[in-house]
Structure 1
Amino acid sequence: MSKDLIQFLKDLEQNNNKEWFEAHKSTFQKHQKTMKTFFAEVADRLRATDDIESHKVFRIYRDVRFSKDKTPYKSWFAGSFKRTAPMLRGGYYMSMQPGHTKVGGGFYGPSPTDLLRIRREFEQNDSEIRSILDDKKFKSIFGELMGEEVKTAPKGFSADHPAIDLIRKKQFYVMRSFNDAEVTKPDFQDKVVETFLALRPYFDYMSSVLTTNLDGEVIVK
């Protein structure tokens, strides 16, 4: 990624209004094209080892209808890569923001059925998920499992369960951070792909959970 792209996002953050954006729209379109090409190339590289159904770069325009923040534009580029459902679960995600670039993925909004299935799995046996999350390489890349969680325990679960730290979560994702110097290096795309590939043990495990019942019988065709 070029330093010009990072600088454009910095300038947009400082001038987040329609007048400035329209005056610099050609610059935005140039950088948007760069991002679309970048995401397409990453998607092609992921397909060498994973089944990617689709990918997309999100719109830069913010939906301000129900937000107190009325700034019209996002000061970052972001997008996602969708694995082929229903057998392959989990989604890859990347956002590029000056000083706060994030690469990772997981499960941001599991359905009530999927959320309950995940929690029941952790309730029954949390050793496999912990072995993945505590793996030295995985932890060095991503750190801790992230996501919103309930304050005590979900309905139907004991607050004293040994796996309550996992059970109380409503989201299950991990992220790797990159600074601007790392983002503008020639090997940044390699680092992104490397990061996504490091997610596979986690995705493979969660896909197995979400396509079987607690007895290990396949429930998805």
Structure 2
Amino acid sequence: MGFTGFPDEAFVFYEGLEADNSKTYFTRHKHLYEDAVRAPMLALTDELADEFGTAQLFRPYRDVRFAKDKSPYKTHQGAFIDLMPGIGLYVEVSAAGLFIAGGIYTQAADQVARYRAAVDEDLSGKPLQSIVAELTAAGYTLEGDRLKTRPRGVPEDHPRIELLRHRSLYAGLRLEPEPWVHTEEVRGRVRESWRAYGPLVAWLCTHVRGSELPRR
């Protein structure tokens, strides 16, 4: 079966999971997760794979070993195309609707250092500034983990101070579950957004790359 949209049951499933995040609820409604969430997400990413690459669907279970919140299940289904470690394209369905993003989501210390050096340097920093300006002008939001103050040693009047505050950087688009999410139009909107994120992802792959630190 090809992708035909996310059925209403997908959003109903996550509304229920937000209200009752328990094994009992998930087990009782697992057929909704499989048929209305996972299967459409697989079909969507499969149909976009020729242009963007193969996506990995995240497991629905949370890692609660070190978390204060012991809720066992994620209240969204995400899929990620990993172009370099932590750098890539993302799509998510939840009770709130769709979230379509692209960029870098977590950075190791060496990646943060390379990112800040590249942003600081005019030759590489100015192009990123232009990329970000074009994305925000097109209606995408700039997100990511940010310092509340400027990084150490960076002057207050640095022309790219806001970008230098970022420890991770991605562009995103949040869309409410309006009637079109039940149709093939989703595929076109994801494709359009992922294409728009292309210059940002390419910049990150060139200047930040994957972490070169040994795994712990």
Question: TM-score, length-normalised on structure 1?
Answer: 0.81
Distance 1:3 1:172 in 2: 32
Give the secondary structure class of the aligned counterpart of 1:8.
helix
Give the secondary structure class of the aligned counterpart of 1:95.
strand
Distance 1:30 1:146 in 2: 31
Aligned to 1:9: 14
Q: Deviation string for 1:96-132 (max 9, x for gaps)?
A: 1122421011011123222212211221213211111
Q: Deviation string for 1:163-196 (max 9, x for gaps)?
A: 2211121011110111101422331111101110
Contact 1:39 1:57 in 2 (8 A): no
- The partner residue of 2:158 within 158, 161, 174 is 161
Aligned to 1:21: 26
Identity among equivalent positions (%) equals: 27
- Mapping of residues 88-127 of structure 1, within 5 Å: 90-125=87-122, 126-127=125-126
Superposition CA RMSD, Å: 2.2
- Mapping of residues 1-221 of structure 1, within 5 Å: 1-31=6-36, 32-46=38-52, 52=53, 54-83=54-83, 85=84, 90-125=87-122, 126-135=125-134, 139-143=137-141, 145-181=142-178, 182-210=180-208
Distance 1:57 1:142 in 2: 23
The structure-2 alpha-carbon separation of the partners of 1:20 and 1:206, relative to structure 1 and needing over 3 Å to count, comes to closer
Give the secondary structure class of the aligned counterpart of 2:107.
coil
Q: Give structure 1 stretches of 5+ with no counterpart.
A: 47-51, 212-221
Aligned to 2:213: none
Give the secondary structure class of the aligned counterpart of 1:121.
helix
The structure-2 alpha-carbon separation of the partners of 1:22 and 1:186, relative to structure 1 and needing over 3 Å to count, comes to same
The structure-2 alpha-carbon separation of the partners of 1:79 and 1:189, relative to structure 1 and needing over 3 Å to count, comes to same
Contact 1:138 1:198 in 2 (8 A): no
Q: Give structure 2 stretches of 5+ with no counterpart.
A: 1-5, 210-216
